[in-house]
Chains A and B, each alone.
Chain A
Amino acid sequence: MGKLTFCTAQLGRRGFLQSCVLLGVGGAVFGAKAAVASQPADKSGFVVINGWVLPSRYFRNEPA
């Protein structure tokens, strides 16, 4: 089962961004190196945004 990481509105804007960076899905957007964004730690993982549990592949800088 893939890792599930929560990016909730309750975390606040700063926590939300940090969670996205941790996931490796927002690296390019938020200024991390391109290598970080293109090599997410958990290829089969999920993110939770606003409660929606979504495959992290939708949030990489590569075709979903």
Chain B
Amino acid sequence: MIKDYQQQKVLRDSYDVCIIGAGPAGITLGLRLAAAGWSVLLAEGGGREYSANSQALYACASTGLELYAKEARLRYLGGTSNHWAGRCRPFSPSDFSIPPLGDLPGWPIPYSEIAGYLPAAMDIVDLPPGSDFQALNTGLDGGDFEPDRFLLSPPTRFAQKYATALEQTQGLDVFINCNCVNLEFDQASGHLAAVVLSDYECNRQRLVARNFVLATGAIENARQLLNSESLVAAGVVSKDGLVGGCFMEHLNIDLGTFILKSGLAPEPREYYTTDAFVDEYKAGKGNVRAALLADVQTYGRTAEVKHFLESLACDMGVASKIAFVARFSCPGDGVISTMIEQFPNLHSRVSLLDEKDALGVAKVNVNWALTADDRHTIKCIGSELAKQWADMNLGFVKLNDFVYDTSIPLKLSPHAHHMGTTRMASSAQFGVVDSNCKVFGTENLYVAGSSIFATGGASNPTMPLLQFAVRLADHLDARMSSARDAVA
């Protein structure tokens, strides 16, 4: 059932699992664990609808690149799925087998660990079972860019789609307006003993459970861990350590413009870097989308572009031709946008501030920062795409200067894909959670969502994070069943 914690504070004495955050990951975990017979509390800080009161608790400072943190996330039932666009592209084996550039390792598990959960994740987001991920176009010659393959979810709004299940699943207690304001860690046992819940009037209550899962998004998951004085005192969390580090986004770069050869189909083209590209250029992955301007689609090519093509082909003399191209400032036929991988780096991080929010939880600062390796990826993708575009006689590409000149400040916008702040690793030296999503140094504290991503690739994170959520539900079910059987 769904209850409003502002009015009803009748919690059970203890739960098998307490999940903080009712977005896609939290709802998926809650429903599956309750269906398996466990008692589950799903605590959502927001209400049934958007409210300024709840959303204000997402306010954070920013000292790095602008990521629009408050606007990118939604703090109410269903979480950020409430404005999800629905694009789904699964991770590929190379996301797990090729380590990222920089000082940190990649995933500690092979792709096969999550591949089996793809059908379940596809079903959760309403993709037809067994359907192939579709390409809009063919790839580019040269082996560097294949067609991007993806499917579009309706998109699934988790609060609406799973409303009945959240109300009726036995064993599942969903509380809205129920904010987690502290994690109480017992150093002697290594267990998280309780979480502290609060309504909007700061009425607080301890909640005991056997296992806890943080599923509040990449900024808030790190914030919850950093805010816990008992976790810090025990050395599980260190303020300048890996918790909150490696904040990653997908890079939406305005690569530039393009001219499309006359007679070619006007539909958008989407490409994706191949593993050969990653290997050859020692760069990250990326999606590139080339789409005609609406005016060009409607009215056809501009006279300026026609003049450009005529001038380029004519025998006007090299100097005159160079001078002409150097002055040419037409926007072309269309624009090229991207979704490019960011490598993990510890300078890009979520940090705790002294200032507290209305519920007494410390606020955070996000310093979203790129490295030279990320600029290298952007430059390689732009340059190679432009060359292969011309090589295939598709037309010509004009790159923005910041794409190929890394001394010029980058212009980019975020994709609202927050990842990496509680990254998965083989040991606490390189990450926050182990291969089962359990926080290193604890016995019963888990993390769900894209904050566990060791690398982000260039796949939209929602469907992959659901694969991990289903896997975590299976792990917790098996672990609790094993413990129960041992007692019996």
Contact = CB atoms under 8 A, between A and B. Distances in A.
A63 B390 contact: no
Contacts of A55: 390
Q: Is the interface of B mostly helix, strand, loop or mixed?
A: helix
Nearest to A6: B404
B453 interface: no
Interface in A1-55: 1-2, 4, 6-10, 16, 20, 25-26, 28-30, 46, 48-55
Given A50-B328, A51-B398, A52-B325, A29 B313 contact: no
A51 B256 contact: yes
B417 to A, nearest CB: 28
Contacts, number: 82
Contacts of B328: 50, 52
Contacts of B301: none
Interface in B357-398: 383-384, 386-391, 396-398
A61 B390 contact: no
Interface stretch (B80-88, B110-118, B119-127, B314-322): B314-322
B401 interface: yes
B315 A53 contact: no
B142 interface: yes
Nearest to A27: B318
B143 to A, nearest CB: 9
Contacts of A60: 318
Nearest to B404: A6
Nearest to A45: B387
A9 B326 contact: yes
Nearest to B390: A55
A3 to B, nearest CB: 9
A60 B312 CA distance: 12
Contacts of A28: 318
A9 B327 CA distance: 10
A30 B327 CA distance: 19
Nearest to A61: B318
B187 interface: no
B401 A1 contact: no
5 nearest interchain CB pairs?
A: A53-B386, A29-B319, A51-B398, A49-B325, A52-B398
Interface of A: 1-2, 4, 6-10, 16, 20, 25-26, 28-30, 46, 48-55, 58-61, 63-64
Interface of B: 142, 144, 256, 312-313, 315, 317-319, 321-322, 325-329, 383-384, 386-391, 396-401, 404-405, 408
14 contacts: A4-B387, A8-B401, A26-B322, A48-B404, A49-B322, A50-B325, A50-B329, A51-B399, A52-B328, A52-B397, A53-B396, A58-B312, A64-B313, A64-B315
